[in-house]
Chains A and B, each alone.
Chain A
């Protein structure tokens, strides 16, 4: 059997705030296979955001091992992690996080700059990806000229453009109305059908149900991990 795409072994993350110590992740083991669609749910403070940060290499664990494609990465330097995020990870944030006063096209092309891709190819890819999310007619619009749903679609295009192994989404519909939410969730479903590996953090059960695998967290531990049977 081949290695899982992403594997966390005995991962702990401890924060010290003043005199209190918080175990945001408490000896977590998790393995994600290629093509999985995972929803992580839990109350606020359950550690679900920390899990996302550690497994997307934004933050280093206090202890434990992480493997990507079977390769151990917890000892990577900050620069190596940055390059790894660039190549392997796509991010979708609750706040969209588009650069202000910058066109949708430039926003989507941003990860490709850091991947050292030549300018023409950068814009060709960015344009293609924006067309994929249905914003082919909004290339030149800046953040202020886009609705919330459109901004999140630009962000999804940005997450997809460098063809990453995993897409992480942190409360992607948290700032959207229900209609835009539905559109975004439909888009995720479609990406899953195309074989993308997706990890979604949400507190909305309704959205979590779209995923094929549900993980529930409490006090830094995974208390439930269930897979839907394939239809």
Chain B
């Protein structure tokens, strides 16, 4: 008796009871699907955040108003963050102070506000970002077409803007925007360039939706001098800790330690990735429980099936099936159920992750597919052993007599 024939018998049994086989498989399908999707969302989120941080530029240090860390070292509550924004004490002079420090390549204030922007009859509500021209290098913002604004633009508070790529499409469709006039906050601005795509920024609106303008123009237009944050670039990675120290000292002369926080972006990235890894693993484990439940479903159905087919087992034994052949037959049947279920689950999960990806970062990685598939196959075998053993140990006479 060879494996091929035993497999054929098992497949026939599965197809004879189509609806029951399908429902049994469903448990595994859902389990595998859940494991892969949850892992995909966790991984997607992680990759996405890493990408965001990369987009923020290398060796970047950010100074934000207020103290976002509480005394224990964790993040402060919502209250302290709101307080930080309303009592923002960062000013342009702080940027100048930082620029004079050793180990600093450059520093730029980042002013963020909201305004309306219109071209011809299209009007959009968008975020506006005011910064020095050096922002382009510090935060790695290249122009796709046209140029970034220059020192001369900043010195003269010129009415020029660089538009995010998505905003450009919204306003101009396919037309060339360079040199065109748009109205920002009711005033005429010349479009100097279009920024390359960056993807959405975490938490806030997408960089691709921003209107970029020179710092002085921003202050001139909105009369707001509170610096939302200061982006600083160190000359090298090794300089970063020293630069952080000297920024703290310099700002500490004018401000209280509670008035500002210095953050190194890679630190945040590490913490976030750690949290996400644990979260992904936790979600995956919860999903794995449904996989086990699916396995128990298979065992249940196989036990019913063995009882129901007692006469068939007796007959097969009478006609020459050895106990091992019967064991193999039922083991193959249960593993087929779980493997086919696993394959369907993988297919559905991949399909779903493509759909989810449209709204939320999700990335299916090979290891989660292999894991879910491997576990489902193992479950079919493990939960199939008990019913298969029961079948193989039936006495042929009693089995044939079974009503």
Residues of A within 8 A of B (CB): 53, 58-59, 78-79, 82-83, 85-87, 91, 93, 97, 99, 101-102, 110-111, 113-116, 158
Contacts and interface: CB of A to CB of B under 8 A. Distances in A.
Contacts of B325: 82, 114
A114 B321 contact: yes
Given A59-B397, A82-B317, A113-B9, A97 B311 contact: yes
A116 B2 contact: yes
Contacts of B9: 113
A86 B316 CA distance: 10
Nearest to A88: B320
A79 B396 CA distance: 12
Contacts of B320: 82-83, 85-87, 111, 114-115
B319 A110 contact: yes
B324 A79 contact: yes
A91 B318 contact: yes
Contacts of A110: 316, 319
A85 B397 contact: no
A78 B400 CA distance: 16
B400 A93 contact: yes
A80 to B, nearest CB: 8
9 contacts: A78-B323, A79-B323, A82-B317, A82-B320, A93-B400, A97-B314, A111-B320, A113-B9, A114-B321
A189 B2 CA distance: 36
Contacts of A87: 320
Contacts of B319: 85-86, 91, 110-111, 114, 158
Interface in B291-332: 311-312, 314-325
Contacts of A53: 397
B315 A82 contact: no
A158 B9 CA distance: 17
A83 B325 CA distance: 11
A116 B1 contact: yes
Given A58-B396, A97-B311, A97-B400, A78 B322 contact: yes
Contacts of A111: 319-320
A143 B64 CA distance: 81
B16 interface: yes
A82 B397 contact: no
Contacts of B174: none
A59 B317 CA distance: 12
B324 to A, nearest CB: 7
A82 B320 CA distance: 4
Given A78-B323, A83-B322, 4 more contacts: A58-B318, A86-B320, A110-B316, A114-B316
B19 interface: no
B121 interface: no
A110 B324 CA distance: 17
B5 interface: yes
Contacts of A116: 1-2, 5
A66 to B, nearest CB: 16
Nearest to B392: A78
Contacts of B321: 82, 114
B311 to A, nearest CB: 7
Contacts of A82: 317, 320-323, 325
A99 to B, nearest CB: 6
Contacts of A158: 319
B318 A79 contact: no
A130 B317 CA distance: 22
B75 to A, nearest CB: 64
A128 to B, nearest CB: 18
Contacts of A85: 318-320
A130 B321 CA distance: 22
Contacts of B16: 101
Nearest to B321: A114
A58 B322 contact: no
Contacts of B314: 97
Interface in B1-56: 1-2, 5, 9, 12, 16
Given A79-B324, A87-B320, A97 B315 contact: yes
Given A114-B1, A116-B2, A99 B315 contact: yes
**Leading 10 A-B pairs by shortest Cβ distance:** A86-B320, A114-B320, A79-B322, A82-B322, A111-B319, A97-B315, A113-B5, A101-B16, A58-B396, A58-B397
A173 to B, nearest CB: 18
Nearest to B315: A97
